[in-house]
Amino acid sequence: MSASERPQHGRLVVKLVAIVVGMFGFGFALVPLYDVFCDITGINGKTENTAAVYDGVTVDTSRTVTVEFITRTNSGMPWEFTVETRRVDVHPGEMAQVNFFARNPASRDIVGQAVPSVSPGQAALFLNKTECFCFNHQPLAAGAEAVMPMKFYVDPQLPEDIRFFTVQYTLYDVTASVADVAMNQG
């Protein structure tokens, strides 16, 4: 192979390197793509983390859906975390409110973050929350208590075969990471 043909390699190499760089970027693009994928298929029961708007939803009184709530706190999170009703029966399209209670029994101020998860996962696509404590961090001073409301409706499009689903909230102690962010910003 003579030297004059060298640049030919160069062009191909540049293209291939572009593929490599592109695929490295794609690896990171999988993070938002995964969320899109979850929104479409309901993998893992992720719910929207922004408020839905209740507007012009028709209530489907022909059927009832039971929504079950589970409250958990993760290791290292000393809060007491309960829900006023374990189960609510709602018609799809009907607004409902459920109150959650949290108490910080520790002697330090703690910022909590609730992470929702729905099972079966497809139901997550039809659970619309107009207001939820899980959208924001929840700071509680030492010894303080709070009532945390959650307002939601079940989309009338919910498949007929889902008559029952579970919503779990896990509370995490995010005091340290919130403090980091505050420090970086301030």
64 near another protein, judged by CB under 8 A: no
46 near another protein, judged by CB under 8 A: yes
Q: Per CB under 8 A, which region of 2-10, 54-62, 94-102, 149-157 contacts another protein?
A: 2-10
Residue 91 has which token pair? 């018609």
Residue 73, classed as helix, strand or coil, is: strand
Q: How many residues bind another protein (CB under 8 A)?
A: 67
Q: Is 147 or 179 the residue whose CB approaches another protein more closely?
A: 179
59 near another protein, judged by CB under 8 A: no
* All residues at 6 or more sequence positions from 140 whose CB lies less than 8 Å from its CB, including other chains: 79, 102, 103, 104, 109, 110, 111, 112, 146
x-or-dash string of contact with another protein, 83-112, rule CB under 8 A: ---x-----------------xxxx-----
21 near another protein, judged by CB under 8 A: yes
* All residues at 6 or more sequence positions from 170 whose CB lies less than 8 Å from its CB, including other chains: 72, 73, 74, 114, 115, 117
x-or-dash string of contact with another protein, 148-167, rule CB under 8 A: -------------xxxxxx-
Residue 51 has which token pair? 């408020």
Q: Which amino acid is at 157?
A: Q
